[in-house]
Structure 1
């Protein structure tokens, strides 16, 4: 295990929240595997209603564990969602609230002293590894992923991750040159499986923010071929995004998803082979709603399920996310939870399980009571909040079954609040703010309370 106490990590001396808990012994603490899909919609898993293709291994997580119906992503695009996951904060409080690029490679970094989930888990005795896409700090920056994880392999930069056939990836701080013809997801998954093998005898955190199914629609031909035969009507469609062009991107999307599904099955099989299956919590989610790029056809796949909106929207289709959790012997098989929850709940959940004290400034709540079948002991969010600085700038809040959305805030900082009753209008088709002005006013107050203005990602000028 590498030594990682540097001046840049002097936060350890000041962060009084980081200490080992006394309630979880090393024998009781589970290994933690968190798989984050990239731009997969709520309806892109067959256990959430996908009918065009099947995802049996992802479905296995639901069949042998718990499926959440009212879970949400940290944001509606990549970087802020990842910041929410890593810091346990919503986008009214996070440092990163948008996809701000750094040239020639990388995104805007988090400050060097940022308290993150892998740092907390490392301090609690876990070996931490990340395999996939980072997007929270350029190579060599104070927020290089190697500053947060013991082991890193994958894409530092979201822009580089637009192609599955890159010229290079990163292994810790070393640039790994590639031939531009190798499917990156296979390399990433192989590295993750090796990390699990290497750490099977000690507590580990394996973070797998895969790039599938983000555009471009690149799939191994063996995975896409059956869908080419199934949907020949799309053979004249050419998908253009980054890297090689794709013929029949509709077939390629299904191929990407089923190929990833097979790899998740390989991960589960490895846990069984290593005899750590019942010591490992596996969770799976997505970073935001479905995209509309590279030839992907989310309407054909009903990728956003019953919801309005896509990636970059704060309607449900942009932020409602799947969440599956499997821990044999601990989580009841085939269970379902309608708990209103979000990505910023993962940090306190994993900290509780690892025996690390939860930071006092988190916006999240531990999901452990729900996971372990004690829903009557589960703390509840008063509300969930999002903000997004692109597409004219917008805000959203959910409190109970009420959802408020404000759009075009750059042009009109006093833009009216749209109000939707999700209990009767899951598709957010009818704005009822005029009928319930007191509820609209209350949600607007929550938005004002949740938002702390950011100089880097301003919501109001």
Structure 2
């Protein structure tokens, strides 16, 4: 990475977010705001400085939070990639959204089970309202009917198949319905770092659409394993800072670049701690570039920027979330329905609308984003959503509605469900396990035990019964992602 990206990191606090008088745009009251939604992949809530991180530098995102609102009780849509994105796109939780797990459509071939044609996505709603829509990063919701171009996006550049996204030096990326070859990459040689190519396309999209309302969905691939980074100025910030244990090819699900590569596995890594830290700071630099571009184009005053992560931190591919305290005070990681697997960072900025430096404990989630954006743009919600707009919270209004409960389900590893109702948190594990038909139900009071260390199910049988009943009724069956 060239020195201009370090310039972004080091000078962001004095330039990028500041809305100078010279740059301010005269915005028509009737003009629809531009919307940018940035999604990290497997970033823990504790990976950001504004949420308590001390070992990794995230100056752009920390300052972004200072210019808007930080949410402390925001939840991802699921504990893994594809269903989390499905809840975001459809406004439905995992008991209703079509994609409820990571599942290939055809084993050993590219592409996940596709989002059905009749799904109504954020992109389709905004496109119908006159927005130009672009998606740059990882999709993971299928080819064919599920393809981004068939789900409301005018332009798509990045990874459709999330297994291909396990590699940062693939031979190609998807550009709409074509493949874009990456110079020098052939599964053996690592020349073109795919996130940089994706970066170029999203910045060009902003440039090309500066004169009309746009929706830019930016699901970054980082810091999802594989853990790999260019040997550049950002990596050098951390090289030699930590005591490293190499992640070698002897580990499970690991395959190095070369003639015998298994593309969907992860590469070994000599310095996984420094590499992971650099991936988080690289995310931060990419966010800084987006904001700098918006500032350069004079669009700051009329642009909403949101930032989140799709699930909790992953302990795979050489990562060490415990070392970085990536899940903060919460229990669990990616694939867990404990707070550490689904509690997400969320930052929202909208100059002169959202109060600078504000913090909210409003309980919100991915499936609330769709109704929030429809309220902002005065468009109509689909009939079957589960979300509630959090626009009143963003605007500091006293009209905010709240969820009776939040619900998650995940049919792997014995079957898992979770619910939050008020401060009560229920986690129902091993629902499908043989010889244990009822599974194991855990109950926590998050007002006293946010780390979910004290299971109080036995002493609260009536509450357990109530939550189980709600969880049973909260869903419809899925033939593709069944519970036994």
> Would the TM-score normalized by the shorter structure come out above 0.5?
yes
Matched, 1:173 2:195: no
Is 1:383 the equivalent of 2:405? yes
Q: Does structure 2 conserve the Cα–Cα contact (< 8 Å) formed by 1:228 and 1:235?
A: no
Residue 201 (structure 1) shift: 1.0
Change (3 A) 1:26 1:455: farther
Alignment match, 2:417: 395
C-alpha distance in 2, partners of 1:382/1:107? 32
Is the partner of 2:425 in helix, strand or coil? strand
Structure 1: gaps of 5 or more residues: 1-24
Q: What is the distance in 1 between the residues matched to 2:161 and 2:177?
A: 13
Deviation at 1:370, TM superposition (A): 0.6
Q: Is the 8 A contact 1:220 1:256 kept in 2?
A: no
Asked if the contact 1:238–1:248 (Cα under 8 Å) also holds between the matched residues in 2, the reply is no
Q: Which residue of 1 aligns with 2:44?
A: 41
User: Aligned residue for 1:444?
Assistant: 468
Query: Following superposition of structure 1 onto structure 2, how do residues 125-164 of structure 1 map, counting pairs within 5 Å?
Result: 125-138=130-143, 141-148=144-151, 149-164=153-168
Out of 38, 54, 59, the residue aligned to residue 56 of structure 1 is: 59
Instruction: Assess, with a 3 A threshold, how the Cα gap between structure 1 residues 26 and 452 changes in structure 2: closer, same or farther.
Output: farther
Tell me if the contact between 2:225 and 2:266 (Cα under 8 Å) persists in the aligned partners.
no
Structural mapping, 1:262-411, within 5 Å: 262-374=285-397, 376-411=398-433
1:87 aligned residue: 90
CA RMSD of aligned residues (A): 1.4
2:318 counterpart SS class: coil
Cα distance in 2, alignment partners of residues 154 and 419 from structure 1: 41
| Alignment-derived partner of residue 224 in structure 1 | 235
Q: Whole-Å Cα distance in 1 between the matches of residues 62 and 248 of structure 2? A: 31
Query: Shift in Å at residue 294 of structure 1?
Result: 1.1
Which SS does the other structure have where 1:221 is aligned?
A: coil
Residue 238 of structure 1, CA deviation: 3.8
C-alpha separation in 2, matches of 1:266 and 1:238: 33
1:33·1:206 contact (CA, 8 Å) conserved in 2? yes
Q: Distance in 2 between matches of 1:43 and 1:177?
A: 36
Q: Does the C-alpha gap of structure 1 residues 336 and 208 become closer, same or farther in structure 2, counting only changes over 3 Å?
A: same
Q: How many pairs are equivalent? A: 432
C-alpha distance in structure 2 between counterparts of 1:234 and 1:432, whole Å: 39
Structure-2-length-normalised TM-score: 0.87
Q: What residue is the counterpart of 1:202 in the other structure?
A: 212
Whether the aligned pair in 1 keeps the contact of 2:266 and 2:317 (CA below 8 Å) is no
Q: How far apart are the structure 1 equivalents of 2:245 and 2:97?
A: 43
Q: Displacement, 1:358?
A: 1.3
Q: Offset of 1:243 from its aligned partner?
A: 5.8
Instruction: Give the distance between the partners of 1:415 and 1:296, measured in 2 at CA.
Output: 30
1:131-156 superposed Cα distances (whole Å, 9 cap, x missing partner): 00011112xx1111111200000000
The answer for the alignment partner of 2:80 in structure 1 is: 77
Structure 2 CA distance for aligned equivalents of residues 169 and 330 of structure 1:
37
2:125 to 95, 98, 120: 120
| Structure 2 counterpart SS, 1:176 | strand
Question: Greater shift after overlay, 46-55 or 238-247?
Answer: 238-247
1:188 match: 198
Distance in 2 between residues matched to 1:219 and 1:165, nearest whole Å: 10
CA positional deviation for 1:236:
4.2
Inter-partner Cα distance in structure 1 for 2:439 and 2:246:
43
Aligned equivalent of 2:479, options 452, 455, 458? 455
User: Whole-Å Cα distance in 2 between the matches of residues 58 and 210 of structure 1?
Assistant: 14
Aligned-pair distance for 1:53?
1.0
Pairwise CA distance, 1:349: 0.7
* C-alpha contact 1:234 1:248 (8 A) present in aligned 2: yes
Q: TM-score, normalised by structure 1?
A: 0.91
| Cα pair 1:306 1:427 within 8 Å, conserved | yes
1:252-272 per-residue CA deviation (whole Å, 9 max, x = no partner) reads 001111112112111111111
Q: Give SS of 1:230's match.
A: coil
Asked if 1 retains the 8 angstrom alpha-carbon contact of 2:354 and 2:396, the reply is yes
